[in-house]
Structures are given as C-alpha cells and as structure tokens.
Amino acid sequence: MTSSLLRTIQRSIACPEVPLTPCLPWLFLLSIKLAQHVDALRPFLDSLPKPFHWKVETREEAQETMEGVDKLNKDGKKNAMVLAEKAKVEGNKAFVGKDREKALASYKEALSFINGVFLQKPNEAEGKEAKRLQAICFANSGAAYLIPGEGMDLVKASEDGKQAERADPSYAKAYVFRYIYKW
C-alpha cells in the first residue's frame, strides 16, 4: 500500500491533471486518513527541495475539506445539469434545422456533462434526473442519425436508442429505436 501511495504522490507532482502543469507545490497537505503511512513517506517528502513543505492535515482541516468538497460537488452537479440541458437545447435546435453534425455534437456534449454528474455521486433524486436527461439525449442523438441524407445511420440510431433505454427504461421514446434494425 505504501509503495503505491508513494508512486501516486510522485505521479501527481510530475503529471498533474489538466489544466495543471507539473510543478513542486509549496505545501503538500497529506490526508489524515494517510497518517499511518507518514514514516514510510517521510524520506521522500523530506528529500524535496525547499520551499516545499508538507504536513498531515488536522481533524479540523479534514472537516473543512470535507465540507468544501461537499459544497463543490453539490454546485458541480447543479452546474453540470444546467450545462447539459443547454447543450441538449442546442442539439434540438440543430435537429430542427436538420444539421445532423451539430445536433450530434451538442448531444454528445450534454452527455459528457451528465457523466460528470455521475462522477460526483448524486443522491437518488439527482441520479434519477440525470438518468432521465441522459435517456433523452441518447434518444435525440438516435433521432439525429435518422435525418435523411449523407451520414444517416440506422445502426448508430439503434445503438443510441438502446443506450436511452438502458439509461431510463421508463422513457417511452427510447423504445422507438428498438426495431430500427428491422426497417
């Protein structure tokens, strides 16, 4: 456990998530949950050049962090749903204008925002709302594949319909695509 934890810390400094760039932080706050590994991590952490500092978070800091993360998650889920709804509306406008590419891109964007909601551990009501919007976006994406002309794709329409059905079995429009292969 400790060696994989050490590799994770090293990797997070050398290859942080986008948009961050590799750098040595000024302060590294080690989670109180990892306090049992301090003796094993100390040689590496103490070897990093100054002005680098590190410490194990206090119970108060852990509580503040947990509350802050909780608020960020709540705000993040709400914002992601708003952005997903906006992208879906843009997709619907493009669909009405028979612009398949723009509609598909907008529905794909909406689905990526919805995936962000699921990553933030929604409660039951939030999850149900996200699944419903996910089903709508998949069904609409399937419909966009049925716009006549170059790029019409019955197979992809059927696949998106099946995804809509999996996302929300109560969403009736999803079942329209069940038999597209048989057309």
Q: How many CA atoms lie within 13 A of 12 on its CB side?
A: 10
- What is the span of the domain harbouring residue 129? 65-182
Examine the fold and report which residue of 36, 57, 78 is the final residue of a domain before the chain moves on.
Answer: 57
pLDDT above 90: residue 127: yes
Asked if the peptide bond before residue 51 counts as cis, ω within 30 degrees of 0, the response is yes
Same domain, 124 and 144: yes
Question: What digits encode the pLDDT tens for the residues 1-15?
Answer: 678 878 888 887 777
Query: Residues 53, 69: one domain?
Result: no
Q: Do 90 and 35 share a structural domain?
A: no
Final residue before a domain boundary, out of 16, 33, 57: 57
Average pLDDT, the chain: 87
- Joined tokens for residue 179: 């038999």
Q: What is the percent of the chain where pLDDT is above 70?
A: 94
Please state the three-class secondary structure of 126-169 as a single string.
HHHHHHHHHHHHHHHHHHHCCCCCCCCCHHHHHHHHHHHHHHCC
Residues 87 and 30 in one domain: no
CA distance 134 to 142: 12
For residue 163, give the nearest of 183, 137, 129 by alpha carbon: 137
The pLDDT of residue 177 is 67
pTM: 0.65
Query: Between 18 and 119, whose confidence is greater?
Result: 119
pLDDT higher than threshold 80 for residue 103: yes
Residues 44 and 17 in one domain: yes
pLDDT tens sequence across 19-54? 777 777 788 888 888 889 999 889 988 888 888 888
In this predicted structure, the answer to whether residue 180 has a pLDDT above a threshold of 60 is no
What's the total number of domains in the chain?
2
Read off the CATH number of the domain in which 170 is found: 1.25.40.10
Task: Judge if 31 and 110 occupy the same domain.
Answer: no
Most confident of the ranges 24-28, 107-111, 114-118: 107-111
Q: Are residues 87 and 167 in the same domain?
A: yes
- Looking at 39, 57, 75, which one is the last position of a domain? 57
- pLDDT at residue 18 greater than cutoff 70: no
Average pLDDT over residues 171-181: 71
* Alpha carbons 169 and 157: distance in angstroms, whole number: 17
120 plus 172 within the same structural domain: yes
User: Residue 168: its pLDDT value, please?
Assistant: 93
